[in-house]
Amino acid sequence: MKLIATRALVYGGKRLRPGDEFNAARQFGRVIVAIGKAKLAPPEPRAVAEPAEASVVEAPEVIEEEPKPKPKPKRTYKRRDITAENESEG
């Protein structure tokens, strides 16, 4: 998110003065705006492109195959190898 510094601050290891424009992650930008150190930069005007001639291109049909079910993983140990730790013989 683009911000404009309203007060001097350090962000991303850079010293910013009032009026400097900088980019910040959305999470940090919201915090910086909330504490009054910056304000949101005005959105840049988007260039409107003239529509080009519509050209129709037919795509070949794609036949989707059903996904194969994943095989059940084999055991990594044998059940007979499992014993209780404090097994008392009686």
Tell me, yes or no, whether 83 lies in a domain: no
Nearest to 29 by CA among 46, 12, 8: 12
Determine the residue type at 1: M
What SS3 state is found at 73?
coil
Q: What is the pLDDT of residue 24?
A: 93
Cβ neighbours for 20, distance < 8 A, ≥ 6 positions apart: 4, 5
Tell me, yes or no, whether 18 lies in a domain: yes
How much is the average pLDDT of 64-69?
78
Q: What is the pLDDT of residue 54?
A: 63
Tell me, yes or no, whether 65 lies in a domain: no
For residues 21 and 38, is the Cβ–Cβ distance under 8 A?
A: no
Tell me, yes or no, whether 33 lies in a domain: yes
Tell me, yes or no, whether 29 lies in a domain: yes
Range of the domain at 13: 2-40
pLDDT in tens, 16-30: 999 999 999 999 999
Tell me, yes or no, whether 32 lies in a domain: yes
Please calculate the CA angle 61-62-66 and round it to the nearest 5 degrees.
145
Number of domains in the chain: 1
How much is the average pLDDT of 64-83?
73
What percent of the chain stands above pLDDT 70? 73
